[in-house]
Amino acid sequence: MYTRDEQRAFFELSKKYLSQDGAIAATPTAQQMEGLRRLIIYHEWRYYILNDPVVSDFEYDQLYKQLEKLEEAHPELVTPDSPTQRVSADLNSEFPEVAHLTPMLSLANSYNEEDLFDFDGQIKRLLGFAEDADIEYAVEPKFDGGSIALVYEGDRLVRAATRGNGVMGEEMTANARVIRSIPLKANFSEYGIFRVELRGEVLIRKDIFKKMNIQRAEQGLTLFANPRNTAAGGLRIKDPKEAAQRGMEAFVYTLGYAVDQNGNNVLNRFATHWESLDLLDKLGFKVPAVERKICKNIKEVVDFCHEWQEKRDTYPYEIDGMVVKINSREIQERSGYTAHHPRWAIAFKFRAKQATSKLIHVEYQVGKIGSITPVAKLEPVQLAGVTVSSVSLHNEDFIKSKDLRLGDTVLVERAGDVIPYIVKPMEELRDGSEQPIEFPRYCPINDTKTPVALVREEDEAAWRCPTCVCGAQDLQRIIFHVSKDAMDIEGMGKSIIERFFDLGWIRTIADVYNLDYEQIADLEGFGKKSAENLRKNIEKAKQNPIQRLLHSLSIHHLGKKVSKLLAAEIQHVLDLKNWTLEDFTHIKDVGPIVAENVMLWFQNEKNIALLEEMEALGVNLKQTDEDRPKARVTEGPFAGKTILFTGTLQKMGRKEAQEKAESLGAKNISAVSSNLNILVVGEAAGSKLKKAQELGTVQILTEDEFLQLIDGAAS
Ligand code: IVH
């Protein structure tokens, strides 16, 4: 649709318009206005049609606002095809089109406190309120998923549709029916409502999304990019059975339309937006809970929005801002609508999570087992409140699959709790000067005169330096050894290890236990007290249970879980010296690869000498009964099952029951979902029981049945 040259020109033009001095003069020519319109239409195409924007939402909004402002000042220059004259379209022709009962408008955006005060001021002026009057607002999250409209008639869900262009949407009732948070029946008639249209957003929880991608990786499937696109895409899947696998959920946030049997509008029965949400909550819909709030005035709104801007990452779903709505329906109606959005609501958008930057060069880091990780150095760019200039490229395949080149403009994203990553290079912006990234064949960290060729095992993604001659890997192993996940030596961070390493005090992990604290006390920045604290922490770490020690040795593939399994089987760490491959693999969950790695490590005399040295320095290598990890239960009615207790138990405390179940191999979870295997029902059980019954896949036990089963399992 657009040529590469055109796209490059649009990108340059966007940058120009977005920089202060490049903005169009207050009196534009018709041609300049047309240019700006075309630019915005281009960005809409990238966003809605390709699902692949090249500017951030914030930047797009800046352009849009510029056009709106100019059009307001020069109405004679407005054309019917201007982006401001219609709601954006993203129709996909494969689903039948349906007309919404009332148009699904969008929201005006705000980005800071000043914008919010302006919004409040405008309403007051519009409605003739005093400047210092307080307007009450309802504030809730701005969900970042796929929007939907649900129609209920005679209490039944009769239609669901995507937003489409706001007037017409795509009908996708079959897919909506598989989303369990959308009730198929809801008792609207009790409230005199015959036909109603609800607005909401379909989302995928961040942790479920992560799990889904882990599973996909295991199955060799391509990974989903992010929860938002996966949810929006999920609504358009042709096979509802497949849609059901996406873990989609729906929040509802507005009653758009409601009439009684005679077709009379009954929306005005709700005095406030809050009341309508409460009703939806009561009828079994998912509505925002703790994360919605009534604010007495705009000042409280600002505080609440800022609070959520800071804690957005802790929210289980992706949100890209907050929505501020006038709570009173009467005031809402008096404020009215523009063609584009209601005047009574505004979105407060959080800081952008995507940005573009230039890939300047690639640096390499070595890990504790010699894996070489390429790291992209970028021109520093602001992203969701932090400056990003360094982003991991993981491995050679990542660079190849994205076809990244030096000099590329790249799209960087920092979503949720995810560390920044490169989404893709912007191929349309290349001018031919970009250079391929040549992954090194010799260790790039090694600073000695002896080059070491890198190796790559067939089924591994990383290139490794097999025989470190420069000490860089030793350093990484020591840093890992003392880290939180391993021996957890408090006060001994990366920088201290690096310092001691440079001073030649620590060259192996055994040296950590053989420090000269008087010397340390004399170091700049230390003193007697900190040296003494360090000594205490190291002494404490010496007594760690041996599963920690095993994990801290940086044996390739030996993670926490297998360290625990091995520790459960031995009396002393050095017992492993005599273990055969079969000894390792007979333990459930210990695979042949990790088995071989651990066996070879313990057959290496240097490693044994290291452990003996550590033991001589007081590090614990013995297993104690107290520390011995409990072997996992693999049989019985609870092994590997998820369990949930609801209602009041009569014969046993809930905590006790949970512990009992766990000791028999079950895992406690907190919600009824298709992941739940067993629900134990005490007195006065409520909605959880109902939900489990509806699911039909959950084994439901009374307390007595549960007790019988534990007795049987324990004997
Ligand atoms: S109310 C008439 N509330 O944001 C008011 N919208 O930019 C219509 N959205 O298309 C919107 N969370 O998909 C509203 N709590 C919320 C929302 C929300 C997300 C989406 C919605 C809409 C878009 C507008």
662 with 513, same domain: the answer is no
Indicate if ligand 1 lies below 6 Å from the C-beta of 106.
yes
The pLDDT tens digits for 519-536 are 999 999 999 999 999 999
- Highest mean pLDDT pick, 36-40, 162-166, 486-490: 486-490
Ligand 1 atom closest to the CA of 146, numbered from 1? 13
If one residue of 88, 101, 253 were mutated to test the ligand 1 pocket, choosing by the most ligand atoms within 8 A of its CB, it would be 253
Lowest pLDDT segment from 118-127, 222-231, 616-625: 222-231
pLDDT 10s digits, 648-670: 888 887 877 887 787 777 787 88
Choose one of 415, 434, 453: the last residue of a domain. Answer: 434
140 lines ligand 1 (CB under 6 A): yes
- Do residues 250 and 107 both lie within one domain? yes
> Ligand 1 center to residue 109 CA distance, Å?
11
Among residues 207, 211, 202, the alpha carbon closest in space to that of 232 is found at 202
Q: Using 50, 70 and 90 to split pLDDT, how confident is the model at 1?
A: low
For residues 266 and 403, state if they share a domain: no
Ligand 1: residue of 323, 329, 348 to mutate (most ligand atoms within 8 A of CB) is: 323
- Match 């996940």 to its residue by tokens: 485
CB 236 within 8 A of CB 96: no
Residue identifier of the C-alpha nearest atom 9 of ligand 1: 142
Cα–Cα dist 601/553, whole Å: 10
Instruction: For residue 500, report the phi and psi dihedrals to the nearest 5 degrees.
Output: -65, -35
Q: Is 105 in the pocket of ligand 1 (CB under 6 A)?
A: yes
Collect all residues with Cβ–Cβ distance below 8 Å to 385 and sequence separation of at least 6: 351
Nearest CA to ligand 1 atom 18: 142
Which tens digit of pLDDT belongs to each residue from 86-129?
A: 433 333 446 788 899 988 888 999 989 999 999 999 999 999 99
Cα 356 to chain centroid distance, Å, stands at: 20
CATH code for position 654: 3.40.50.10190
pLDDT value of residue 72 = 86
User: In the structure encoding, which two tokens stand for residue 184, read together?
Assistant: 């198929």
- Our mutation pick for probing the ligand 1 site, out of 162, 201, 324, 338, counting the most ligand atoms within 8 A of Cβ, is 201
Phi then psi for residue 135, to 5 deg, are: -100, 135
**Contact in structure between 413 and 353 (CB atoms under 8 Å):** yes
As a whole number of angstroms, the distance between CA 542 and CA 621 comes to 9
Instruction: Tell me the C-alpha distance between 53 and 57, whole Å.
Output: 8
Q: CA 41 to CA 44: how far, in whole Å?
A: 5
pLDDT digits (tens, 9 = 90+) for 144-194: 999 999 999 999 899 999 998 888 999 998 888 888 888 888 889 999 999
CB of residue 323 inside a 6 A radius of ligand 1: yes
Q: Which CB contacts under 8 angstroms, 24+ apart, belong to 439-445? A: 439/374, 439/396, 439/399, 439/463, 440/364, 440/372, 443/366, 443/372, 443/468, 443/470, 444/364, 444/372, 445/364, 445/365, 445/366, 445/372, 445/470, 445/472
Reported as a pLDDT band with limits 50, 70 and 90, residue 75 is confident
Atom of ligand 1 nearest to the CA of 147: 13
> What's the CA gap between 412 and 383, in Å, rounded?
8
The residue whose CA is least distant from atom 16 of ligand 1 is: 142
pLDDT at 416: 53
Return mean pLDDT, the chain. Answer: 88
Mutate to test the pocket of ligand 1, among 60, 101, 102, 107 (most ligand atoms within 8 A of CB): 107
Determine the pLDDT at residue 20. 63
Alpha helix segments (H runs only) across 634-714 = 654-663, 687-695, 703-714
Is residue 658 in contact with ligand 1, taking CB distance under 6 Å? no
Q: From edge to edge, which strands make up the β-sheet containing 372-383?
A: 386-392, 372-383, 354-366, 409-413, 421-425
Ligand 1 pocket check for 235: Cβ under 6 Å: no
Ligand 1 atom closest to the CA of 341, numbered from 1: 2
Are 347 and 173 spatial neighbours (Cβ–Cβ below 8 Å)?
no
What is the pLDDT at residue 24?
Answer: 67
Residue with CA at minimum distance from ligand 1 atom 17: 142
**Which CATH number covers residue 214?**
3.30.470.30
CATH number where 64 lies:
1.10.287.610
Q: Is the CB of 347 under 6 A from ligand 1?
A: yes
Q: Is 55 in the same domain as 138? A: no
Runs of H (alpha helix) within 586-624: 592-603, 605-616
CB of 163 sitting under 6 A from ligand 1 = yes
* pLDDT band, very low/low/confident/very high, at 229 (cuts 50, 70, 90): confident
Which pLDDT belongs to residue 472?
Answer: 94
* CB-based contact 204:145 (threshold 8 Å): yes
Across 86-100, 208-222, 418-432, which has the greatest mean pLDDT? 418-432
- Rg over alpha carbons for the chain, rounded to the nearest Å, is 31
Q: What pLDDT was estimated at residue 135?
A: 97
pLDDT band at 21 (very low <50, low <70, confident <90, very high): low
Distance (Å) from CA 265 to ligand 1 centroid: 22
User: Tokens for 304?
Assistant: 């609440």
Question: Are 25 and 447 a contacting pair, CB within 8 Å?
Answer: no
| Closest C-alpha among 103, 254, 236 to residue 166 | 103
For atom 12 of ligand 1, the residue with the nearest CA is 142
* Ligand 1 contacts CB of residue 345 (under 6 A): yes
Looking at 290, 321, 349, the residue that finishes a domain is: 349
SS3 assignment, position 628: coil
Q: Could you tell me which residues come within 8 angstroms of residue 500 by beta carbon, excluding any fewer than 6 positions away?
A: 506, 515
Answer with the one of 404, 434, 464 that is the final residue of a domain: 434
Looking at the fold, whether 311 and 410 belong to one and the same domain comes out as no
**C-beta 142 within 6 A of ligand 1:** yes
Assess whether 511 and 658 both reside in one domain: no
CB-CB neighbours of 168 under 10 Å: 18
CATH number at residue 396: 2.40.50.140
Atom of ligand 1 nearest to the CA of 347: 7
Q: How far is the CA of 4 from the centre of ligand 1 (A)?
A: 34
> Which residue matches tokens 């873990």?
247
Taking residue 397's Cβ as centre, other Cβ atoms within 10 Å add up to 12
Kindly give the number of the ligand 1 atom that is closest to the alpha carbon of 109: 7
* Residue 53 and residue 10 in one domain: yes
Examine the domain organization and report whether 606 and 686 are in the same domain: no
Query: Of 334-338, 411-415, 582-586, which gets the smallest average pLDDT?
Result: 411-415
Q: Which amino acid is at 232?
A: A
Looking at residue 444, its pLDDT comes to 95
Asked whether the predicted pLDDT for residue 413 surpasses 80, the reply is yes
Domain count, the chain: 5
Indicate whether residue 107 lines ligand 1 (CB < 6 A).
yes
The answer to whether residues 522 and 542 belong to one domain is yes
Pick the atom of ligand 1 nearest to 345's CA.
Answer: 5
The answer to whether residue 609 sits within a structural domain is yes
Highest mean pLDDT among 394-398, 619-623, 647-651: 619-623
- Which residue has its alpha carbon closest to ligand 1 atom 13? 147
Q: Determine the distance separating the centroid of ligand 1 and the alpha carbon of 168, expressed in angstroms.
A: 16
Ligand 1 centre distance from Cα of residue 106 (Å): 6
Q: Tell me the mean pLDDT in the region 481-496.
A: 94
Q: Which atom of ligand 1 is nearest to the CA of 288?
A: 15
Cα of 140 vs centre of ligand 1, distance in Å, is: 10
Non-local CB neighbours of 372 within 8 Å, separated by 6+ positions: 364, 365, 366, 440, 443, 444, 445, 454, 462, 463, 464, 465
Atom of ligand 1 nearest to the CA of 141: 15
- Residue nearest (by alpha carbon) to ligand 1 atom 21: 147
Beta strand 137-143 with 354-366: parallel, antiparallel or unpaired? unpaired
Decide if 254 contacts 274 (C-beta within 8 A). Answer: no
d(CA 34, CA 710): 75
Protein residue closest via CA to atom 22 of ligand 1: 106
Positive or negative: CA dihedral 503, 504, 506, 508: positive
Contact between 101 and 151 (Cβ < 8 Å): yes
Residue 92 lies in a domain: no
Q: Residue range 400-411: average pLDDT?
A: 94
Ligand 1 contact, 164 CB (< 6 A)? no
Residue 641, pLDDT > 90, answer no
Q: Which residue has the tokens 């006390």?
A: 521
253 in contact with ligand 1, CB cutoff 6 A: yes
Reply yes or no on whether the pLDDT at 700 is more than 50.
Answer: yes
Ligand 1, closest atom to CA 254? Answer: 1
Q: Is 457 contained in some domain?
A: no
- The catalytic site residues sit at 142
562 within some domain? yes
Q: 197 CB less than 6 Å from ligand 1? A: no
Name the residue with higher pLDDT: 400 or 30: 400
**Is the pLDDT assigned to residue 51 strictly greater than 70?**
no
Q: How far is CA 297 from the centre of its chain?
A: 32
- 367: in domain: yes
- Domain of 379 in residue numbering reads as 354-434
Residues 150 and 215 in one domain: yes
Q: Which residues have CB under 8 Å from 346's CB, separation 6+? A: 107, 108, 109, 110, 115, 116, 119, 323, 324
Out of 174-183, 188-197, 556-565, 682-691, the most confident range is: 188-197
**Distance between Cα 404 and ligand 1 center (Å):** 36
The answer to whether residues 103 and 242 belong to one domain is yes
Determine the distance separating the centroid of ligand 1 and the alpha carbon of 425, expressed in angstroms.
31
For residue 622, give the 3-state DSSP assignment.
strand
Residue 320 in any domain: the answer is yes
Question: Are 123 and 13 members of one domain?
Answer: no
Which residues does 423 contact at the CB level (< 8 Å), separation at least 6? 225, 354, 410, 411, 412, 413
- If you measure from the C-alpha of residue 382 to the centroid of ligand 1, how many angstroms do you get, rounded to a whole number? 26
Q: Is 147 in the pocket of ligand 1 (CB under 6 A)?
A: yes
